[in-house]
A and B are shown apart, each in its own frame.
Chain A
């Protein structure tokens, strides 16, 4: 079987580059004969509805069984302490920690059969946002870098943003798949941070004293200050500096960009609906960036589990206090922010051309640990999809009675990335030309 649009072959291991080349070589013959390949290409073109992607990156590994895939009839040492509630999707229950999302499940679809290949944060993080292991390398590009490269540099706003404190990391190191990978550093994400008060800061500019987006008014003064900083650097740093500050300068001297960063122009009702949390306000910033035409925005969950890990930034990595953290902090914050973002995208008329995806790098052990928490679990986890042609109100995939393994088709990060790319117009041909997402197939059930 050849499914050009979905980029699948009959191989159970998926399509490799050789099989793609075979497929590509066959295209003219199919095209000449007016055979289905062209129809598939046309179908792919029609699928490309996403002007922007907002990825809510739930770094750390959120517990699937304590959130969107509860197992109330599992044995005591698996079942969590939380009750279950109905959602608007027939037959799908959530735990009581996500009531707002449960009331909106007719607007998104949930995949309960995600599976990845790596059980450590940096490695699984790279797989989660590139589709591939870091080693043997080279490190593949982040999904955002692929979309950014396809769309190209915009005039004012970079095409790929990270909203968060920095590149997701654990204590030893950061994830390697954070940026451009084989496409080059030009497609690395541009980092902005948003405080719980909605104050946006650009870490790149922290070297410039007293500089913030709201204070940039005098372009000449800004340029002078940037040049002064540039002279302080040694030669090896100048290129990197130039690249970074070209983006920063473009941002700060652009009315369009400054407007995108100005959350104060939103009504108080809108801002508060997201919650006065870093993640909540970061989601609002992401909506504004998408509205301004940024193709790919990754909002990195961060800062909350720090309560129990000083100076760490491990997000949902709840090795201790799993149940307490989920009920006290993470789930109320996520439930509110996600629901507000969903409502806002609908109210703004952006849902048809904005793809909203929420996922982490893996799930957590269905068996409760000896410290009443849950550890890493790469064999089964979840993702949530909405907008840009995603069929809403579906529960896709099924995990077994304990939430340990998928009992229906496992969905991989590579499939997630391929689907994101396809919805952004990065079709099979473009992917092959860029040499990215090799072997990836679409998550057909979403479309």
Chain B
């Protein structure tokens, strides 16, 4: 009898997700969390004050946070990306009126490359290839916003897509062979997957509302993303082929910017609760299944 009860309670525990863990408590507007240091830290950006969006590093041990750059010098830093080999950081830096540029910086040697294009405008959403040799990002140079690829030294800039609509949020599969991203050509953002050279594109979501910010899981089998299909911003997970959709958050307030923990079982999100924006660590459990 005791063994049966033990099994019953163990099964119950598996079916119920742990409560999300609130990692920050200042409530300021936040964005772009990324796990670093093997999951022991999170780098994120937040509104330090009305005139500065600052990049911070949060320790998962003691929850203390410190600026990534001590001297931000009035420049806003957003959308950080770190190379898998730990040698590089890339981010978007706002440098003046209507101008933003992509920075690729060596964390060990201090060298920086600035990626520029014709005309003024802003780069978006950099991400490193799994071999840490290239950065993929989004930019609109002459018309529709496309995905671009460049070496870490800033050379060999290539345009990867030639699609209509707005392309954004590229992310690699762990093997580096495919890129997942969003595009709006079908009247709203949908998620697509293509080969790393831009070929063999396939659509993964079909919906009349936005599906954005895809993030591929560490094992390459799942994609977390944000959708407004519930009526506001919620986080979902689906298999890499678009099947097996699961809803991870279910709040009247906003849940956004999902990123995978290296353990592949948890996500960090920026979630708005009672009007305050903080980082939350949550298990990847379908809230609709958990509710049953």
Contacts and interface: CB of A to CB of B under 8 A. Distances in A.
Contacts of A272: 274-276
A271 B276 CA distance: 11
B109 to A, nearest CB: 27
A76 B164 contact: yes
A327 B97 contact: no
Nearest to A320: B122
Interface in A295-351: 303, 306-312, 319-321, 323-324, 327-329, 332, 336
A303 to B, nearest CB: 4
B46 to A, nearest CB: 11
B94 A77 contact: no
B63 interface: no
Contacts of B233: 332
If over half of B's interface residues share one DSSP class (helix, strand or loop), that class is named, otherwise mixed; here it is: loop
A45 interface: no
Contacts of A80: 184
Interface string B123-163: 01000000000000000111111000000000000000000
Interface stretch (A22-30, A201-209, A273-281, A358-366): A273-281
A328 B31 contact: yes
Interface stretch (A81-89, A106-114, A118-126, A431-439): A81-89
B185 A76 contact: yes
A396 to B, nearest CB: 26
A81 B169 CA distance: 14
A275 B275 contact: yes
B122 A310 contact: no
B78 A307 contact: yes
B166 interface: yes
Contacts of B212: 327
A99 B98 contact: no
A263 B100 CA distance: 37
B275 A273 contact: yes
Contacts of A311: 51, 74
B188 interface: yes
Nearest to B230: A99
Contacts of A268: 274
A174 interface: no
Interface in A365-389: 368-373
A327 B121 CA distance: 18
Interface residues of B, number: 53
B33 to A, nearest CB: 14
Given A303-B50, A310-B51, A81 B275 contact: no
Contacts of A280: 275
B27 interface: yes
B232 interface: yes
A156 to B, nearest CB: 29
A171 interface: yes
B76 A370 contact: no
B210 interface: yes
B66 interface: no
A76 B165 contact: yes
A392 interface: no
Interface string B176-215: 0000000011011100000000000000000111101000
Contacts of B74: 310-311
A372 B145 contact: yes
Contact of B51 (A306, A320, A368): A306
6 contacts: A81-B165, A81-B189, A85-B209, A275-B275, A327-B210, A368-B144
Given A77-B144, A311-B51, A372-B166, 16 more contacts: A72-B187, A77-B143, A81-B165, A81-B184, A96-B210, A99-B232, A269-B274, A276-B27, A280-B275, A307-B78, A310-B76, A310-B96, A320-B99, A327-B212, A370-B142, A371-B140
CB-based closest 8 A-B pairs: A81-B184, A372-B140, A371-B121, A83-B188, A272-B275, A372-B145, A272-B274, A83-B209
